[in-house]
Each structure stands twice: as C-alpha cells, then as structure tokens.
Amino acid sequence: MNEKIKVKVHNLIKTFGDNQVLKGINLEVHDNEVVVVIGPSGSGKSTFLRNLNRLEAPTSGSIVIDDMDIADPKANINKIRENIGMVFQHFNLFSNLSVSENIMLAPVELKKASKEKAAAQAKKLLAQVGLESKYNATVQSLSGGQQQRVAIARALAMNPDVMLFDEPTSALDPEMVGDVLAVMKQLAKQGMTMIVVTHEMGFAKEVADRVVFVEDGNIQEQGTPDEIFNHPKDPRLQSFLDKVLNV
C-alpha cells in the first residue's frame, strides 16, 4: 500500500425519497489498497459503490478520486467511469456478442481504440483471467464463473485506476467462486486499488488491507482483518460476524 490517497469520501449522504440510505460516510482509500466492505443486507453497501462511479448521484457530500470531485453535478461522468471499473453480482455481458467483442466494445466505442489494438488487449486480458481459449466463444457457452471473469476483463479493458466489486461471487455455484476470487487476488497483488463488497470472509481475511463494516448507512467500525475478525468492538459487528461465520 502507498501513502497516496486515491479515493476520499467525505460526509456522503444518499437519500431516496424520505429514506436516508447513506448517512454521512467518510472513507479514505490509498493507492494500491484493498478495502473489503461487509455488512448486513440493506445497510447501503451497493448504494455506496454505485455512488462511487455515479450510477447514483450523491445527495450531498464529496467523493474525490484522483483530485476530481465526482459528486459535483458538473463532473464528466464518462471520464469518471473510465477510471473506475465496476463488477456486479450479475455480470450483464451482451449475450449477442462473443467474449472478445464484449471486452473490446467500450475501448472501441468510448476510447476510440483501433480494432487491432482492442483485440490484442482482449487477448491479453483473457489470459490474465485464465480464459485465453474463450476468445471467440459465445457468452452462453460459458459457465457463470467464466462469465464473471470475462466481466472483470471487460472492466479492466478501460484501464481503470480503481476497481469496485459488488458481491461478484454471490450468484455463482460454489465450485466457481474460487476461480473468480483467484483473479481478484491476482489483481490485488498487481497493485490495483480495490473496493470489494463481499460475504467471502476468507477473501477478506487474506486479501484485504482494511475491512469496513457498514450498518444502517454508516461505517460503524473499520480496521485490519485481524482487528475486525478477531477483536470486533461494536456489538452489531459482533452479531453480524456470529451470523455470517456460523452458517
């Protein structure tokens, strides 16, 4: 991990109607840091990630990523999304396009990359996620775990500085979870700055530099994996861990 602050979230509030979902989130993420976000269903984890790449517009507060305040309504949303890759629970690949076409789409359409360059990059990214042989495959011919690895490759094709993952393995059959987590682990090792919402506590323990516990729209506790898993202080965190670790 590096001293440089990559993402600085200050007093982030998000309200839907009269439901205040994020109640003043403060978080700094350093360059190369892996932050794992845990917390009960409905606590605001997805809403938080969606604000970070402007899939939702913050109600108030600031989100500064590489010196750009993306909460500013005048911010250039396309530019923001180029720098911040996101991987979802449901991978949302285009099923009418081949694997490589899915990966090449955004670089060609948004970054005006040449087809040759985008194709070479797609090849390289597929190798990185262990799917070299699937370059020409149809999306439907892939397993869920393979599709999720293609979705990761697709996000990486924009050369993002920060990658957001929202429960990337929770829709997968158990035997496919490991392959996806291995790709994410590799990415962390290469120095990618990552914010990962997951229920995979093994991944959090092994890969996270910091674990953040979100409950009821607030960060209630944060610390190293050792602090959070072995010495949790907040009673709500203790009861959350009792539930997720004893299933």
Ligand X SMILES: Nc1ncnc2c1ncn2[C@@H]1O[C@H](COP(=O)(O)OP(=O)(O)OP(=O)(O)O)[C@@H](O)[C@H]1O
**Positions that interact with ligand X (CB under 6 A):** 16, 19, 21, 39, 41-47
| Cα gap 97→42, rounded to integer Å | 34
Q: How far is the CB of 11 from ligand X (least distance, A)?
A: 18
Cα–Cα distances in Å, from 132 out to 18, 86, 121, 183? Answer: 48, 22, 12, 14
In the chain, where does DSSP find H-type helix? Answer: 45-52, 77-83, 99-109, 115-128, 144-156, 174-189, 201-207, 225, 235-245
102 near Mg ion, rule: CB under 5 A:
no
Q: How far is the CB of 220 from ligand X (least distance, A)?
A: 13
Q: Of the two residues 50 and 134, which places its CB atom closer to Mg ion in the complex?
A: 50
The separation between CA 14 and the C-alpha centre of its own chain, rounded to angstroms, equals 19
162: which strand partners? 84, 193
Q: How far is the CB of 170 from Mg ion (least distance, A)?
A: 9
Q: How far is the CB of 14 from ligand X (least distance, A)?
A: 8
Residue showing tokens 């861990």: 241
Q: Of the two residues 56 and 161, which places its CB atom closer to ligand X in the complex?
A: 56
Q: Token pair of 147, please?
A: 């599709």
Q: Of the two residues 131 and 196, which places its CB atom closer to Mg ion in the complex?
A: 196
Which of Mg ion, ligand X, none interacts with 16 (beta carbon under 5 to 8 A by kind)? ligand X
- Determine the size of the site formed for Mg ion (CB under 5 A): 1
Q: How far is the CB of 166 from Mg ion (least distance, A)?
A: 6
Q: Of the two residues 17 and 235, which places its CB atom closer to ligand X in the complex?
A: 17
46 near Mg ion, rule: CB under 5 A:
yes
CA-closest candidate to residue 103, choices 129, 79, 84, 83: 129
The site for Mg ion (CB under 5 A) is made up of: 46
